[in-house]
Amino acid sequence: MENNENKCENGQKEQDHQIDYRRDREWLEKPKHIFILSEAGKPIYTFHGSEDKLASLFGVMQALVSFVQQNDDGITAIFAEGYKIVFLVRNSLILVATSRTNCSTHQMQTQLSYLYNQILSTLTYSRVNRSFEKRKNFDLRILLSGSERIIDNFLVHDNSVRKVTNDVFSNLTNSISIMKIPITDRNNIVSSIQSSCSKIKDLIFAILLAKNQLISLVRLKNQTLHPVDLKLIFNLIDCSESFKSTESWVPICLPKFDMNGFMYAYITYLSEDCEACLILMSSDCEAFSVLKEAKSKITDKLRRNNCFNAINQEIFSNGYNLDALNIPEMVHFVYKPKGIYQIICSEIKPPYTSVSEFKKLEGIYFDLYRKIHKPHAPLKLIYEVRESEAALAWVTTTHELYAVFQPTVEKNDVIMLVDKLFKAIAKDNDNLFIKNHPYF
């Protein structure tokens, strides 16, 4: 035995690093890991690395979950200095997230439950269940193959791994970012869609979006769409460039709408001169040609009604501009009306335009959000001053505001600036938010 070990020592070192995760520093030091496994401990997904090489790690995770379960309890999280590991057991799946950031366990759980929904949206709840009922040793990767990149895409966007974008904050607040469109134009868009589609049987939703922001959501059969489902649609569109070049017909399960069935999505971009994405969702799997026809009607009407201009203007703008409102001491904000799942964010300006600085901004918001929404001990207001910035989180009966100021700002001025912002938002309210939807 000893001989054997010595023999391997040098020759296999290189290989060790590839096979044994515990020796792979680069892998271990990733800011975040996501693992999904079956109840049997078989790997389904890992964000970094290959599931096969991590097979023993997946085994350990299943064993930990089982060990706690035998005491009629459930493992929820592990904490180490600067490190968190969160577990979520749903149905026949075990989801695990690790993080080196300061997001709360609650946020990490929300994220895992989103990933669970993401899997359902590809397979449906009943299909996942049936697969494992038939064979407990089933390798779910067989059914998921090809859709891992949708999960990857969500995770990349979930915090600023490489991009500087306000998308992070809609995930943080579990909301949808709304594109600012003058209300008359928005009404025009909605009526253009409605009039082109009203007679189509089984067409349930028509969604128009651009740049991960919602332009309009038309509910043709008066059904409601849950923000979680809408987010799944956003993510699907965002992760595939191919929708830009060709029209697509995609089955998608919306777990909050019906976790056992598929909806069929006709997905296409409006036109070359207006890069907004139109999604027509039908319960009829044969509806492709009908919807294709509807799309060209919609496009024509939108063009005729000058809606392309209105949309393009926002596509090319950088977002809500604080300097234009004469609130220059405020560097950035995220605003969410209470009780609805919509947010607006201001344009990202220096110093936060670099990835490293933006990560700090993200950290500040994560921190504020975690503290102010602490279950059982929520707060109304947090105001924090550090050497590099002042930050405010404020939850009232009508809205939530998260904002960052220059560090030199006076408290008196903060109140005044926030007041100014609220007035500006109130004035623009009709253009900033969508109000015809009961839940969101």
Site residues for other proteins, window 8-27 (CB under 8 A)?
A: 8, 12, 16, 19-22
CB of 1 to other proteins, least distance (A): 7
CB of 223 to other proteins, least distance (A): 6
Longest CA–CA separation in the chain, Å: 82
- Residue 380 backbone dihedrals phi, psi, to 5 degrees: -95, -35
CA–CA separation, 242 vs 249, rounded Å?
12
CA–CA separation, 228 vs 2, rounded Å?
56
Phi-psi region of 233 (alpha: psi -120 to 50; beta: other; left: phi over 0): alpha
Q: Which of residues 230-249 bind other proteins (CB under 8 A)?
A: none
156 binds other proteins (CB under 8 A): no
352 binds other proteins (CB under 8 A): no
357 binds other proteins (CB under 8 A): no
Among 32, 35, 36, 42, binds other proteins (CB under 8 A): 42
Q: Can you spell out the DSSP letters for 293-313?
A: HHHHHHHHHHHHTTHHHHHHH
135 binds other proteins (CB under 8 A): yes
Structure tokens given for 221 = 């059969």
Among 35, 234, 243, 257, binds other proteins (CB under 8 A): 257
Q: Which of residues 100-129 bind other proteins (CB under 8 A)?
A: 102, 105, 109-110, 113-114, 124, 126-127
User: Which residues have CB under 8 Å from 387's CB, separation 6+?
Assistant: 407
CB of 80 to other proteins, least distance (A): 4
280 binds other proteins (CB under 8 A): no
Sign of CA dihedral 337, 343, 344, 346: positive
Lay out the site mask for other proteins across 200-229 (x = CB under 8 A, - = otherwise): --x-x--------------x-xxxx-xxx-
Query: In which element (H, E) is residue 98 found?
Result: strand 93-99
CB of 109 to other proteins, least distance (A): 8
Sign of CA dihedral 64, 28, 95, 78: positive
Q: Which of residues 55-94 bind other proteins (CB under 8 A)?
A: 55-64, 66-70, 73-83, 85
Binding range to other proteins, per CB under 8 A, among 286-294, 299-307, 348-356, 370-378: 370-378
Residue matched to tokens 């102010």: 372
Q: Which of residues 404-423 bind other proteins (CB under 8 A)?
A: 411-412, 414-415
Residues that bind other proteins (rule: CB under 8 A) add up to a total of 109
User: Which residues have CB under 8 Å from 47's CB, separation 6+?
Assistant: 30, 32, 33, 34, 35, 151, 152, 155
